[in-house]
Amino acid sequence: MLNAERRPSMAERRPSFFSPGPDGSIQASPLVVPHLAGIEDPLPETTPEKVDVVIAGTGLIESILSAALAWQGSSVLHIDSNNYYGDTWATMTIDQIKNWTEKINEETSEPKFYKDAKLYVSGLVAQGKYKSKNFGIDLSPKILFAQSDLLSILIKSRVHQYLEFQSLSNFHTFENDNFEKLTNTKQEIFTDQTLPLLTKRNLMRFIKFVLEFEKNTDLWEPYAKKPLANFLVDKFKLEKPQVFELLFSLGMCRNLDTKTPEGLARIRRFLTSFDVYGPFPVLYSKYGGPGELSQGFCRSAAVAGATYKLNHKLVSYDPNSQTAFFEDGSRARVTEKVVMSPTQHPPNSGNIPDQKYEVHRLTCVVEKDCSQWFSEGENAAMVVFPPDSLSSGNRESVQVLILGSGAEVCEPGTSVWYLSTIQQGPQGNLDLDAALDAMITSILRESSEIPEDDDLVEIGANGIPLVNSVKLGKSFKELIFKEQVNFIMKLYYTQYTSTPPFDVVTPDLFDLNKSNEFMPGASDNGILYTPLPSGEISYDEVITAAKLLYEKIVGSDDDFFDIDFENDEQDIRNNATNIGTFDENAIADDDDDDIRMMDSETVEFAGEMEI
């Protein structure tokens, strides 16, 4: 077994299309998930002698590209030097995180893709109270807006049938030592007793405007080169709390420098995603984030004929003979291109794109369910710390994604906190620590596990602890909690990427050397390098990057996932030899074009629903 310590894969979690019922009769179940080589099925013994494209790295962008090419008709050999899927987008168990941390800290060669990884794991894991494989930790956590290119492709490609999604509607902004829940719907705005009537009117006027702001250029064009905050104050008379909510919770902007048109586009992204599938704007996948999506697209590519091999490293590529050479001594002739994640580069490669942008990350698994931060029936929340809201004097916002056990990424009674900032240098970690301290104070204050006033103590003027009699909800800057938050795991690391922080995604972000025939950083060796995950919390970059690569290989992106599944059952069965035994009933018509809510919180997309 390539990966003995791992979380169950999607194929193992979800049943076959037909399965025995309690009485022995055959009953319909959700669509079967095809097996992946190296996880459920053994790896192929041989490497194909000739393929159109070799893709090294099973990250999300590479996996989307692999599926798009395979369905277009290209023969694809998709490999990964790791023994797991996902590469820099992977979802890992705690033990896998330990191995990953050791590996990157031992790495001495340049360029660096990660550095300064510091890991703490509680002894409770070694003692068996918590099992490593019951945790799914994302290296690059992301959220999925309901109105997005990626969600459209998930539905169009039917990859959504391999996944399960849940809703996220709770967004909090840290202001004045408190977390303020985002007010973003008409009903919430009208019923909010803390908002003056004039502020409510101005907010409603802005929301109506931003949905079609591109048609009202006369109003915002004079501010096109100015920060959005100036526009919101001058034209809509909004106060700082509303400006920060719009910028940092709705827009998910990183700092106050975001220009007006870009900021308006980001706020519109949030508002147009609301109520697409329900009263929430954002989704995330159960069991893990980008790592699960990567597997989904790999499975789709495998069904379409792609060959998969893990623990398979490309050591060199000869552009003259168009031959790829692998570590095990095998080789393959490549008729089109070699596509590669920078992390999978051959030894002595001197043409790798410059990974000059930093993303500082802090991932914590805590012994608290943090349900106080979730909406009813949900298992996730976003917390945003705007610039200058932390004791560290942060210049960039700190964004936090919180996932509870209902997301199937941690055990009951625990939660996972993903903190990130694009602040460069040592200040980034200072900001993360300050944000973590604020979160700990907040969850202790709001926790229902503090039933009595004497669970809090106050420091008097002479430094002597006094019994506290204040109620929850007041300022706790000078209070000490008897209860503390226990960490099951805490991981710091700095991630590098060639993708600059962006406000609105464009192809230029991923094509830094436009004069070259190849991708950014590529020379005459015929290798196209893919971008590593950026600091953007959404998935906005992935389809743009994948389509750019696809166009460089095929010549046009017109048929990118232009798939007709109506009469493809036999073709898929014919290709099933690439992925092992394929259920005869795996492909079935699904006439239900609705979205079903599973277990009160899971969103399942059925049929070929259009967004």
Tell me: do 295 and 410 sit in the same domain.
no
Q: Per-residue pLDDT averaged across 309-322, rounded?
A: 94
Tell me: do 235 and 336 sit in the same domain.
no
Is there a domain that residue 405 lies in?
Answer: yes
Tell me: do 364 and 439 sit in the same domain.
yes
Tell me: do 491 and 539 sit in the same domain.
no
Residues 6+ apart with CB under 8 A from 138: 89, 90, 91, 288, 289, 290, 291, 363, 418
Is there a domain that residue 202 lies in?
Answer: yes
Residue 331 lies in domain = 38-90+288-354+503-558
pLDDT of 560? 96
Read off the pLDDT of residues 107-163 as tens digits, 9 standing for 90 and up. Answer: 887 788 999 999 999 999 999 999 999 999 999 999 999 999 999 999 999 999 999
Tell me: do 438 and 489 sit in the same domain.
yes
Taking 90 as the threshold, does the pLDDT of residue 50 lie above it? yes
Confidence of residue 449 (pLDDT cuts 50, 70, 90): very low
pLDDT of 190? 52
Which stretches of 515-601 are assigned E, i.e. beta strand? Answer: 527-529, 595-598
pLDDT of 519? 40
Rounded Cα–Cα distance for residues 525 and 508 (Å): 22
Tell me: do 314 and 388 sit in the same domain.
no
pLDDT of 609? 33
* Residue among 17, 42, 32, 4 at smallest CA distance from 578: 42
Is there a domain that residue 178 lies in?
Answer: no
Taking 60 as the threshold, does the pLDDT of residue 376 lie above it? yes
CATH number of residue 487's parent domain? 3.30.519.10
* H runs (alpha helix) in 84-211: 94-106, 123-126, 149-156, 186-191, 197-210
Read off the pLDDT of residues 303-314 as tens digits, 9 standing for 90 and up. Answer: 999 999 999 999
Tell me: do 374 and 480 sit in the same domain.
yes
Taking 70 as the threshold, does the pLDDT of residue 491 lie above it? yes
Q: Which of 20-29, 215-224, 508-517 has the lowest mean pLDDT?
A: 20-29
Tell me: do 337 and 372 sit in the same domain.
no
Helix (H) or strand (E) holding 262: helix 260-273
- For the chain, the domain total comes to 3
Q: Which of 289-293, 388-392, 446-450 has the lowest mean pLDDT?
A: 446-450
Rounded Cα–Cα distance for residues 250 and 79 (Å): 38
Taking 80 as the threshold, does the pLDDT of residue 7 lie above it? yes
Q: Per-residue pLDDT averaged across 253-262, rounded?
A: 96
pLDDT of 82? 95
Is there a domain that residue 20 lies in?
Answer: no
CATH number of residue 265's parent domain? 1.10.405.10
Tell me: do 361 and 493 sit in the same domain.
yes
- Identity of the highest mean pLDDT range in 193-197, 324-328, 457-461: 324-328
In one letter, which amino acid is 180?
E
Tell me: do 374 and 312 sit in the same domain.
no
Tell me: do 371 and 444 sit in the same domain.
yes
Is there a domain that residue 467 lies in?
Answer: yes
* Residue among 473, 520, 556, 595 at smallest CA distance from 146: 595
Is there a domain that residue 282 lies in?
Answer: no
pLDDT of 442? 87
Contact predicate 344/313, CB 8 Å: yes
Rounded Cα–Cα distance for residues 102 and 317 (Å): 29
pLDDT of 9? 85
Contact predicate 46/21, CB 8 Å: no
Is there a domain that residue 590 lies in?
Answer: no
Read off the pLDDT of residues 414-426 as tens digits, 9 standing for 90 and up. Answer: 999 999 999 999 9
pLDDT of 474? 40
Tell me: do 388 and 477 sit in the same domain.
yes
Is there a domain that residue 605 lies in?
Answer: no
Q: Per-residue pLDDT averaged across 338-352, rounded?
A: 87
Taking 70 as the threshold, does the pLDDT of residue 455 lie above it? no
Q: Which of 218, 240, 273 is the last residue of a domain?
A: 273
CATH number of residue 71's parent domain? 3.50.50.60
